[in-house]
A and B are shown apart, each in its own frame.
Chain A
């Protein structure tokens, strides 16, 4: 699978926005799993989602899979966006998927970004991760994904 890249023409479609006045909002939990502290990406994505009408619950750095899943359930989110650059994704992300299943919350959409090699991304997708966004993915792509896949 190829990582998503930016549209090269200037007529990129604007992402569909949820009606600001409507009361139904897409809710997404964003966080970093593991010890890595580089939060530039997760913060930029969180802002972009907010600008697209999403309610983003930013859970921050150094979250464990247990913390991520508990927060996701309490906040009744539609999706969890995980940023991970340390290489620990093959340990930590499957644990999140496992825990979601155990808590009967497998309907929550899990997506991830960061440094994840293609073959491991493919494996994560077979385990249940909906999408992996590699370096250079445009914000529009991520916003489209959230608005499309997580729509209530």
Chain B
């Protein structure tokens, strides 16, 4: 990597710098070398139109909208969910009253993995890291008193995403809201499950079929909905570098585009509704560079590789979440600062939607107070700091533009390596992504051990009163109540109707038809998530991971 940046004058004159620090070979947290000083030379033959363009203009480096935050702030969308649907409903109403502008649903592990709350595999897990949803009844309770045509909702769910989406659509219908009026996002990014989060259930082929079915359904019936949120957040949380996060995410994006095109869609029919989800980690400028590189890369990919004609197909719209893995269990109040810096980098990087973590999330799900502080952090950035007064304020910085270029180069290099191995699915099979991530994670851990990286409160500055932080406790009553509820549901509903729907589902799964209509039918008959998943598992099989350590 040729760094034309100069050493600082002190360094080049071999004079000791001022007290404390003279990082010899400084690098970002991902290992990208950072020079002491950047000058116009570093930009060389930099061409504004080619590299940046104005906001709202190709290649969208400066932002996908012409007015960005001057026109409309990013969506403040705090991820929440725990316990029962009723409890989460209360938390949603609280957050909406406090100024949150979009809802984001966190589901519990059994729901994420396709089990009902009374299944043996669910024991001990119900309601602990999200809300328990077994059937349409729970979904109705989750959104009770909340008009679905007046908010947008993001649902963080992957393998069973289509099922939960079907429930959401059914709830809307009961409110008199048509699918076309619904706005929101389904995470539904199965590829990153194989790579990082490991919430896979079916093998890749049928999983991709399900994702494509949702993309097709959205393009035909739900123009305000983002059917996939192509995610890098989890890849980063698993220990990847920033470049890997960016490269693997965009590569996954290309895999979905390929699949949708193969299914017969024209690229412009669905690409405008694709969205992304990135991490906001603690290395401030690296993250900003990453977001800008993401927009530039995706714009070129969509226009030059896929020949999309609609400019909206070229736009990399994304949600960001501050890095959970950067938070510490020691001196948790420090996490408020970390989250603030990370959120600021996301805003300076032009994110379209943002979730800020609560300070206590290393220990448990957030308390109401901690969740409020996290939301206020965004509001302070938006209304007090002034950074929203102008668009992409860091453009033209010798450093930030150099770093943006560097990260872009790193991603392009990975695209090549992925292509050489036969594409994303081949790399998942041969373990390429998993190996890169595991290596990066281990490297980082070793750096911490050797104190080449400092985490305040953890391997430095460990003195500090260990405050008693109240944490949220989920009791077993949730599990008992939920198990009872779903059993009661199974008793009261029309058993024949359920059996018929499941038979129809099985036939549809074996065939080629889009599964969304039959899934909507199933959920309306109060077929449970577990029952639907069991049927699909029979047809699709289950995935066995090639283990890479």
Which B residues lie within 8 Å of A8 (CB)?
459-460, 462
- Please indicate the chain A residues that have their CB under 8 angstroms from the CB of B330 in the complex: 3, 5, 136
B113 at the interface (CB under 8 A from A): yes
Of B118-126, B147-155, B341-349, the one with at least 4 CB within 8 A of chain A: B118-126
B325: chain A residues at CB < 8 Å are: 40
Instruction: Kindly supply a per-residue 1/0 record for chain A positions 73-92, scoring 1 wherever the CB is within 8 Å of any chain B CB and 0 otherwise.
Output: 00000000000001111111
- Interface SS majority for chain B: loop
B238 touches A40 (CB 8 A): yes
A145 at the B interface (CB under 8 A)? no
Q: A17-25, A43-51, A104-112, A122-130: which one contacts chain B?
A: A43-51
Contact of A138 among B128, B238, B459 (CB under 8 A): B459
Is the interface on chain A under 10, 10 to 19, 20 to 34, or 35 or more residues?
35 or more
Query: B449 contacts which chain A residues (CB < 8 A)?
Result: 6, 12, 138-140
Q: Given the complex of chains A and B, what is the CA–CA distance between A38 and B235 in angstroms? A: 11
Task: Verify if B253 is at the interface (C-beta below 8 Å from A).
Answer: no
Number of interface residues of B (CB under 8 A): 47
Asked if A60 is at the interface of the complex by the 8 Å CB criterion, the answer is yes
Residues from chain B with Cβ under 8 Å of A92 in the complex: 124
A7 to B450, CA, bound (A): 10
Q: Is the CB of B364 within 8 A of A115?
A: yes
- Assess whether A87 is in contact with B442, with CB atoms less than 8 Å apart: no
1/0 per residue, CB under 8 A from B, across A109-151: the answer is: 0000001010000000000000000111011100000000000
A136 to B471, CA, bound (A): 18
Which residues does chain B contribute within 8 Å of A99, judged by CB atoms?
none
B423 close to A (CB within 8 Å)? no
Of A12, A35, A136, the residue contacting B110 (CB under 8 A) is A35
Instruction: Check B328 for interface membership: any CB of A closer than 8 A.
Output: yes
Which residues A1-15 have CB closer than 8 A to chain B? 2-3, 5-8, 10, 12
Report the Cα distance A10→B448, complex, angstroms: 11
Most chain B CB within 10 A, of A92, A136, A139, A140, is at A136
Contact of A136 with B445 in the complex, beta carbons under 8 Å: no
A6–B448 contact, CB under 8 A? Answer: yes
Chain B residues within an 8 Å CB radius of A71 = none
Specify which chain B residues have a CB less than 8 angstroms from the CB of A117 in the assembled complex: 363-364, 471, 473
Answer whether residue A36 sits at the interface, using C-beta atoms and an 8 A cutoff: yes
Shortest distance in angstroms between A10's beta carbon and chain B's nearest beta carbon?
A: 6
B123 lies within 8 A of A136 (CB): no
**Are B448 and A138 neighbours in the complex by a CB distance under 8 Å?**
yes
- Knowing A10-B451, A43-B441, A88-B128, say if A136 contacts B109 (CB, 8 Å): no
A2 to B545, CA, bound (A): 36
The answer to whether the Cβ of B259 comes within 8 Å of any Cβ in the partner chain is: no
Indicate whether A39 reaches chain B with its CB closer than 8 angstroms: yes
**How far is it, in angstroms, between the C-alpha of A45 and the C-alpha of B110 when the chains are bound?**
26
CB pair A37 B197 closer than 8 Å: yes
Complex CA gap A63/B511 in Å reads: 33
The answer to whether A34 touches B448, judged by C-beta atoms less than 8 angstroms apart, is no
Residue pair B547, A58 in contact (C-beta under 8 Å): yes
Residue of A12, A40, A58 contacting most chain B CB atoms (<10 Å): A40
Alpha-carbon separation in the docked complex, A48 to B417 (Å):
28
Give, as a whole number of angstroms, the nearest-CB distance from A30 to chain B.
Answer: 10
The distance from the CB of A112 to the nearest CB of chain B, in whole angstroms, is 14
- B448 surroundings in chain A (CB, below 8 A): 6, 138
Whether B197 pairs with A38 at a CB distance below 8 angstroms is yes
As a 0/1 sequence over residues 407 to 451 of chain B, the CB contacts with chain A under 8 angstroms (1 = contact) are 000000000000000000000000000000010011001101101
Q: Say how far A100's CB is from chain B's closest CB, in angstroms.
A: 18
Residues of A within 8 Å of B109, CB to CB, are: 34-36, 86, 88
CB distance from B118 to the nearest CB of A (A): 14
Q: Is the CB of B363 within 8 A of A86?
A: no
Q: Contact flags (1/0) for B174-185 with A, using CB distance below 8 Å? A: 000000000000
Tell me whether B263 is interfacial, beta carbon within 8 Å. Answer: no
Residue of A nearest to B128 (CB): A87
Known: A34-B109, A115-B363, A117-B363. A136 touches B455 (CB 8 A): yes
Say which residue of B125, B197, B458, B549 sits within 8 Å of A43 (CB atoms): B549
**Is A87 touching B129 in the complex (CB atoms < 8 A)?**
yes
CA gap between A104 and B399 in the complex, in Å: 63
Pick from B125, B451, B466, B473: contact of A86, CB under 8 Å: B125
Cα separation A136 to B453 with both chains bound (whole Å): 13
Measured CA separation A86–B123 after assembly (Å): 12
Asked if A46 and B549 make an inter-chain contact with CB atoms under 8 angstroms apart, the answer reads yes
- For B311, the chain A residues whose CB sits under 8 A away are none
Are B329 and A43 in contact, CB atoms less than 8 angstroms apart?
A: no
Tell me whether B198 is interfacial, beta carbon within 8 Å.
Answer: yes
For residue B328, which residues in chain A have a CB less than 8 angstroms away from its CB? 135-136
Interface residues of B in 211-244 (CB under 8 A from A): 237-239
Give Cα distance in the complex from A88 to B460, angstroms.
31
Contact A44:B124 (CB < 8 A) given known A136-B329, A136-B458:
no
B400 at the A/B interface (Cβ < 8 Å)?
A: no
Chain A residues, CB < 8 A from B112 = 35
The 8 closest A-B pairs by CB, nearest first: A91-B124, A37-B198, A87-B128, A88-B124, A35-B109, A6-B459, A135-B329, A136-B458
Name A's B-contacting residues (CB within 8 A): 2-3, 5-8, 10, 12, 34-40, 43-44, 46-48, 58, 60-61, 86-92, 115, 117, 134-136, 138-140
**25 residue pairs A–B, Cβ–Cβ below 8 Å:** A5-B330, A6-B458, A6-B459, A34-B109, A35-B110, A35-B113, A37-B197, A37-B198, A38-B197, A44-B438, A47-B438, A61-B545, A86-B109, A86-B129, A87-B124, A87-B125, A87-B364, A88-B123, A91-B123, A115-B362, A117-B471, A117-B473, A135-B329, A135-B362, A139-B446
Which residues of B pack against A, CB within 8 Å?
109-110, 112-113, 115, 121-125, 128-129, 193, 197-199, 237-239, 325, 328-330, 362-364, 438, 441-442, 445-446, 448-449, 451, 455, 457-460, 462, 466, 471, 473-474, 545, 547, 549
